[in-house]
A and B are shown apart, each in its own frame.
Chain A
Amino acid sequence: MTDATPAPLAPRRHLPSLPVSLIVGIVLLAPLAVAAVAGSWLAPYPYDEMNIMSRLQPPGPEFWFGTDEFGRDVFSRTLVGTGSSLVMGVAATALSLLAGVPLGLIAGYKGGRIGEAIMRAMDVLMSFPPILLGILVLAVTQPAQWKAIVAIGIVYVPQVVRLTRAITLELMQEEFITAARLRGENAAYILFHEILPNIWPPLAVEASLRVVFAILLGASLSFIGMGAQPPSSDWGLMISEARPFVEQAPWIALCPGFALATAVIGINLLGDGLRALLDPRNTGAH
């Protein structure tokens, strides 16, 4: 019975205007996506071509962003490394969603002993600091990039489970779920047709942020030698390899660093934009 803020007019459905952050995010990410797909064709030099004659060259017309200690072209390496760096984040996030969303749905919908068991297991996983859990998983075997992906995926499963469960529980209280139960829908219909469509917007936002964390964590793991392995040109690894030469040749670290920053800012903006876009208030509902 309040009328503090009158609802805006225009109850008809209309396409919401795209948030600025979404557009900027896409603009930033588009070239990276191209590089990730076609990096090795676009690169002026092969990413692993060593040339002792042109070691640690500063940026110039020949090597746009200079060369590293083996005389490899930094720009080409960064370009080719895009795929490795982004795939790590995206794949790990996909993995955590794949495992986490069903678990979260079950924990939220079923509750009871099963839900309790799932949540307690997640609590144990969450009791390890993220990077430590990654290290723990990786320390068992010889490092490799796909193992890093699995490790990062596992690290983020508990967060995804918790979020999914929280939203599911909230939705379970909604009256339209009660209405569905009343007309005799089975669990599968309620989960997939009533709950899931309402879960994916917050999950999409969450996923975009997860990708950022996963990319950064992947870069960190590569940095300490537990992710991508030489001679890969993963950005984290490139920065790590550049460290001893940072005083003489800072460009080796700067180029992948800027690429990483662009990716992270782009995805962050995309996430913010998505949040604004998917907010029901933006579509005239309130």
Chain B
Amino acid sequence: MMTAPQARPAVAPVTVTAPAPEPAPLLDVRGLTISYGNARGTLRAASDVGFAIRPGEVMGLVGESGSGKSTIAMAILDLLGGGGRVDSGEILFDGVDLRRLPAAERRALRGDRIAAVFQDPFTSLNPALTVGRQIAEPLIQHKSLSPRQAAARVLDLLAEVGIRDPRRVTAAYPHELSGGMQQRALIATALGCEPKLLILDEPTTALDVTVEARIIDLLAKLCDSHGLSALFVSHNLGIVNRICQTVTVLYGGLVVETGPTGRVLSRPAHPYSKGLVAALPRITAGRRHRLPSIPGTVAKLSGPPAACVFAPRCPFAEETCRSQPQAMLTDAAGDGVRCWKADALAGTPWPDEESAARKPAPQAPAQPTAPLVEVDHLRKVYGANRSILPWLRRAGTVAVEDVSFTVGRGEVVGVVGESGSGKSTIGRALLALTEPSAGTVLFDGTDLTRQVKQGDQDLRRRAQLVFQNSAASLNPRKTVGDAMDRPLVLAGRADAEERRKTVAGLLTRVGLPSAYADRYPHELSGGERQRVNIARALATDPDFVVCDEAVSALDVSVQANILNLLAELRDEMGLSYLFITHDIAVVSHIADRVLVVYGGTICEEGPTGRVLRPPYHPYTEALLSAVPRLAEDGQEAPRILLEDAAPTPGGQGCAFAARCPRKLGAICDEQAPPVHRADDGHRIACHIPLATLAERAAVFPELVGDAAH
């Protein structure tokens, strides 16, 4: 898959030689400038962007939100909406400038020779039409097939993208399919007319990691077998590393670096690329290690850049950087970097976060003390209905089935699971936001749900929540200061002046200027809002904080910031966290102990280091193998690809049975798995004997010897 990088004609005018046998690029974008205009002015989404994709090549277009990557993809498709327009530049496809073609001809190319797959399969399929019809449409439109011929071709296409029962899927409506199946259907649609170029706009971002792994695998195979070229837009460097031969890094609408994937991700030349790579949480990194982060927020341009766009956030910036726009420097191999210091910085890594060298931490809290949170046989059923009308009676959906665990004082417990695993429900039950259907949750020895029901709110304030969606968790009509003032008022602090000081102190504590107290949520960036969220949670002086996907919606560079902040607060204030996430790399970075949940049950639990090495629960093993890695992280283990199947919680057997690659047989479907207990409180719920599980090779061999981890 990973072919050696070849030299290619550079885009920049600096080009000296262009070897003759080199095939002409299939897609050649030159000097593309795109802006969005509205009543309040214009915003440059892309400035003088250039890159080329040769036949059979997959190029990654990476950047954080606001970098302009999706805008560029849409411009190639001529689907810019919302006031966006291409100001200048050329989009050469097979030597023809698409911008010069009449709209009708561009439309005729779309779906035929240039096909696309978008981010969100759940919304990309029309809910009112059958899947088969939607796949057949371009065949009928572009290839003039009869509906009958098209239907036959649809079945072939579905089979090719790995769908087992194409007949059922063609007749289905989108909502009847799982996310993975929907994305496969979209890929089948794109392949239908045998396109030459695929535009893949974050095609797996909305999917669970195990599903993502399969889709990426499928895409890589298809590109290979069909000799497809693709533009792969993504924010995820690990995924890009897996599927792209070359990569172009965008920042603030400018290309800052371009080159072969292996080289760019292992030896990034531009400071921004260095930062991006460094900020990625890695399973193999030391857990107590602070993540390097990129300070500041993404640049937004309204006109041509007057200086280096990255200078305000760059640790290496000098006066020149702040006064002169940077040109793209291209070397003989065709690699480009937009930084005049790139050569000088070649060996310099992104600086580590040393500022607050982390204290050895109140490591391993004295275990004998009673745990802070005790969850005992928790069960939660949603949607049960005891109607008098017999056809409306429903047993409900099991979200959490018989879950027991504890959170110690000062301990960080990570909960990893995919959508539908019940992880959020567990978090809500711990905070008495939802009443358990069975079982108990004790907070500091007291049943919190009962206390809240009796109107006692004091205990509740000691357990707080940091949300995923930082925008929705702040009342849009209240200033930051007002939002943080309330918990203090409720805590009985009467002196307004003193409260104001406390708010200012809290804001400073989370790294925001105290003047932010007067701002409204919509005036803050996503990362800043998340800091306000954390500050607000701290305002009640809690012992325990549930972080529900608290960093999932953030860009990598900001995510590292917030993770560091959370870790610092834990160390300084002795907080306990329940850290809920879908990202096992993030959990491994911050958690002392990890619960791996699937279909409402805990399949594996133990100290983080234990869970990351064998013996694994088969699901944990699959999760770990799905974690994308960068080149420098060493050889990738063979990926374990799971079936597309929904978890079946609340059933007789193991919830994972339907997708388990190591399923023993009927016993897995019929009996709840026994819990194997290993040392260190490591528990695995599986029918496979512990000794057999221990025989598997480690997904991350480098972790095995590291017992102290």
Instruction: Note whether A and B contact each other (Cβ less than 8 A).
Output: yes
| 4 new A-B contacts at CB < 8 Å, known A1-B65, A9-B43, A184-B461 | A176-B475, A183-B460, A184-B458, A194-B475
Whether A285 lies near B476 (C-beta < 8 A) is yes
* Docked-complex contact A10 and B477, CB < 8 angstroms: no
* Chain B, Cβ-Cβ closest to A198: B477
Chain A's closest residue to B234 (CB) is A1
CB within 8 Å for A2 and B540 given contacts A182-B464, A184-B458 = no
Contact status A3-B69, CB under 8 Å: yes
B68 located at the interface, meaning its Cβ lies under 8 Å from any Cβ of chain A in the complex? yes
CB–CB B71/A3 < 8 A: yes
Asked if B706 is at the interface of the complex by the 8 Å CB criterion, the answer is no
Q: Say yes or no: is B467 at the interface (Cβ < 8 Å to chain A).
A: yes
Of all chain B residues, the one with the shortest Cβ separation from A1 is B235
Question: Which of A1, A8, A9, A178 has the largest number of chain B CB atoms within 10 A?
Answer: A1
- The number of chain A residues with a CB under 8 A from chain B is 34
A141 within 8 A of B: no
**With the chains together, A8 CA to B82 CA distance in Å?**
12
Q: Are B45 and A176 in contact (CB under 8 A)?
A: no
Which 4 A-B pairs have CB atoms at the shortest separation, nearest pair first? Answer: A184-B457, A285-B522, A175-B473, A176-B475
> Is the C-beta of A54 less than 8 angstroms from some C-beta in chain B?
no
Q: A2 near B522 (CB under 8 angstroms)?
A: no
- Specify which chain B residues have a CB less than 8 angstroms from the CB of A6 in the assembled complex: 36, 43, 45, 66, 68, 71, 300
Instruction: Return the CB mask of A175-195 against B: 1 if under 8 Å, else 0.
Output: 110111111111000000010
Task: Determine whether A4 belongs to the interface, using a CB cutoff of 8 Å to chain B.
Answer: yes
> Are the C-beta atoms of B460 and A179 separated by less than 8 Å?
no
Report which of A5, A12, A183, A198 forms a contact with B475, defined as CB distance below 8 A: A198
Q: Judging by beta carbons under 8 Å apart, are B457 and A4 in contact?
A: no
- The distance in angstroms between the C-alpha atoms of A197 and B482, with both chains bound, is 14
Cα–Cα, bound, A168→B202 (Å): 34
Q: Which residues of B contact A5 (CB under 8 A)?
A: 36, 81-84
In the assembled complex, A283 has its CB within 8 A of some CB on chain B: yes
Q: Counting CB contacts under 8 A, is B474 at the interface?
A: yes
**Which residues on A sit within 8 Å (CB–CB) of B38?**
8
Q: Which residue of B lies closest to A183 (CB)?
A: B487
A176 — nearest CB in chain B belongs to which residue?
B475
30 contacts between A and B (CB under 8 A): A1-B65, A1-B235, A2-B119, A3-B66, A3-B70, A3-B71, A4-B71, A6-B300, A8-B38, A9-B40, A9-B43, A10-B41, A13-B523, A17-B39, A174-B472, A174-B473, A176-B473, A176-B474, A178-B465, A179-B536, A182-B461, A182-B465, A183-B460, A183-B461, A184-B460, A184-B490, A185-B457, A197-B477, A280-B476, A284-B523
Q: Known: A175-B472, A285-B522. Is A8-B43 also a contact (CB below 8 A)?
A: yes
A112 to chain B, nearest CB (A): 13
CB-CB < 8 A to A174: which residues of B?
A: 472-473
Interface SS majority for chain B: loop
Whether A4 pairs with B465 at a CB distance below 8 angstroms is no
Is B431 in contact with chain A by the CB < 8 A criterion?
A: yes
**Chain B residue with minimal CB distance to A286?**
B522
Question: Which chain A residue shows the least CB distance to B120?
Answer: A2
Contacting pair A285 B520 (CB below 8 A): yes
Measured between beta carbons, the chain B residues less than 8 angstroms from A186 are 457
Do A198 and B476 touch across chains, with their CB atoms under 8 A apart?
yes
Q: Is the CB of A9 within 8 A of B474?
A: no
Nearest CB of A to B297, in Å? 11
Interface of A is mostly: loop
Most buried by B among A11, A183, A186, A280: A183
Contact between chains at A284 and B540 (CB < 8 Å): no
Question: How distant is B529 from chain A, measured CB to nearest CB, in Å?
Answer: 11
Q: Is the CB of A179 within 8 A of B465?
A: yes
> Complex Cα distance A11/B522, Å?
8
Interface string of B54-72 (1 = CB under 8 A from A): 0000000001011111110
Residues on A facing B (Cβ under 8 Å): 1-13, 17, 174-176, 178-186, 194, 197-198, 280, 283-286
**Is B469 engaged at the interface, CB distance under 8 Å to the other chain?**
yes
Contacts of B476 in A (CB 8 A): 198, 280, 285
Smallest CB gap from B464: residue in A: A182
Q: Does residue B486 face the partner (Cβ distance < 8 Å to A)?
A: yes
Residues in chain A near residue B82, CB distance under 8 A: 4-5
Q: When the two chains form the complex, which single residue of B467, B523, B539 contacts A11, counting CB atoms closer than 8 Å? A: B523
Contact of B320 with A by CB under 8 A: no
Asked whether A12 lies within 8 Å of B300 as measured between CB atoms, the reply is no
| Shortest beta-carbon distance from B462 to chain A in Å | 10
Kindly list chain B residues whose C-beta atoms are within 8 Å of the C-beta of A183.
Answer: 460-461, 464, 486-487, 490, 539-540
The residue in chain A whose Cβ has the minimal distance to the Cβ of B66 is: A3
Residues of B within 8 A of A7 (CB): 66
Cα A11 to Cα B536 in complex, Å, equals: 22
Interface residue from A8, A13, A184 paired with B520 (Cβ < 8 Å): A13
Give A163 Cβ to nearest chain B Cβ, in Å.
19
Closest CB-CB distance, B107 to chain A, in whole Å? Answer: 20
From residue B110, how far is it (CB to closest CB) to chain A in Å?
17
Q: Contacts of A194 on B, CB cut-off 8 Å?
A: 475
Distance (Å) between the CB of A3 and the closest chain B CB?
Answer: 5
Do residues B433 and A284 form an inter-chain contact, with CB atoms below 8 A?
A: no
- With a cutoff of 8 Å between Cβ atoms, the chain A residues found around residue B67 in the complex are 3
B565 proximal to A (CB < 8 A): no
Taking the nearest CB of chain B, how far is it from the CB of A159, in angstroms?
25
**Nearest chain A CB to B568's CB is how many angstroms away?**
22
Interface centre among A4, A10, A181 (most CB of B within 10 A): A4
Complex CA–CA separation, A17 to B71 (angstroms):
29
Whether, in the assembled complex, B74 has its beta carbon less than 8 Å from a beta carbon of chain A, the answer is: yes
Whole-angstrom CA separation of A176 from B476 in the bound complex: 9
Are A1 and B205 neighbours in the complex by a CB distance under 8 Å? yes
Q: Residues of B contacting A2 with CB < 8 Å?
A: 65, 70, 119, 202
A16 CB, nearest partner CB in chain B, Å: 10
Chain B residues with Cβ below 8 Å from A184 are 457-458, 460-461, 490
Q: Is B302 an interface residue (CB 8 A)?
A: yes
Q: What is the chain B residue whose CB lies nearest that of A280?
A: B476
* Chain A residues with CB under 8 A of B84: 5
In the complex, what distance in Å separates the CA atom of A185 from the CA atom of B81? 43
- Give the complex CA separation of A176 and B474 in angstroms: 5
- List chain A residues, Cβ under 8 A from B469: 175
Chain B residue with Cβ nearest A171: B475
C-alpha spacing A179/B38, complex, angstroms: 35
CA distance A3 to B66 in the complex (A): 5
A5 to B42 alpha-carbon distance, docked (Å): 12
Interface centre among A7, A13, A179 (most CB of B within 10 A): A179
Cα of A197 to Cα of B39 in the assembled complex, Å = 28
For B510-523 the 0/1 string (1 means CB < 8 A from A) is 00000000001111
B202 is contacted by which of A1, A13, A280 (Cβ under 8 Å)? A1
A13 to B521, CA, bound (A): 11
Pair A4/B477 contact, Cβ less than 8 Å: no
Complex CA gap A8/B45 in Å reads: 11
Contact A10:B40 (CB < 8 A) given known A175-B469, A181-B433, A283-B522: yes
Which residues of the partner chain A approach B523 to less than 8 Å between Cβ atoms?
A: 11-13, 284
Q: Which of B235, B433, B458, B483 contacts A182 (CB 8 A)?
A: B433
Task: Give chain A residues whose Cβ lies under 8 Å from the Cβ of B477.
Answer: 197-198
Picked from B41, B71, B205, the residue with its CB within 8 Å of the CB of A9 is B41
Complex Cα distance, B524 from A11, in Å, reads: 8
Task: Say whether B460 contacts A182, CB under 8 Å.
Answer: yes
Q: Which residues of A contact B433 (CB under 8 A)?
A: 178, 181-182
Q: How far is the CA of A186 from the CA of B487 in the complex (A)?
A: 12
Q: A286 — which chain B residues lie within 8 A by C-beta? A: 522
CB distance from B84 to the nearest CB of A (A): 7
Report the separation of the CA atoms of residues A18 and B473 in the bound assembly, to the nearest whole angstrom: 29
CA distance A17 to B66 in the complex (A): 26
- Which of A4, A12, A176, A198 has a CB less than 8 Å from the CB of B74? A4
A198 contact set on B, CB distance < 8 A: 475-477
**Most A-side CB within 10 Å, residue of B474, B553, B555:** B474
The CB with the most chain B CB atoms within 10 A, among A176, A181, A280, A286, is that of A176
Nearest chain B CB to A185 CB, angstrom units: 7
State the CA gap A202–B204 with chains docked (Å): 36
Q: Which of B572-630 contact A (CB under 8 A)?
A: none
